[in-house]
Amino acid sequence: MAIVINNTRTITGQPDTDVSNQWIDITVNADGGDCKFTHTAPSDLSGDTLQDYVDGKEDFYKRELLRNMYVGADTYNSPLEDFEKWVAAGCTNAEITGKDSEDNDIVIKAAEVITKKTWINSH
């Protein structure tokens, strides 16, 4: 799926505002739902070159959305592919086992299903 660019805006505000970027309001599909949010892109891009830029960052945008949806996921800092596999496998953080000082087996963390938080569109 290509990312949909809904709007672009000049970044304004403080006198020292970075004019090398622009606000982009985009729609990205992540975990079966369309999520709208605002990000930045170089201000010298527009039309097809801007679309190519955001399409090239699709994995980044999807991963960032999943990180916000599944706080505490075992794959929080993993590549998008690993995150998508984790979601497809039921969003379960692994059980970790170990040994105590007397060589007895112990469970450090029980397996835990991470519940998806509802995505709140930023615009």
The set of long-range contacts for 79-87, using a CB threshold of 8 Å and a minimum separation of 24, is 87/31
pLDDT digits (tens, 9 = 90+) for 24-78: 999 999 888 899 999 999 999 999 999 999 999 999 999 999 999 999 999 989 9
Q: Is the pTM of this model over 0.85?
A: no
Q: Is residue 80 classed as helix, strand or coil in its secondary structure?
A: helix
Q: Which residue has the tokens 């379960």?
A: 92
Three-state DSSP class for residue 52: helix
Q: Determine the Cα–Cα distance for residues 101 and 85; give it in Å rounded to an integer.
A: 35
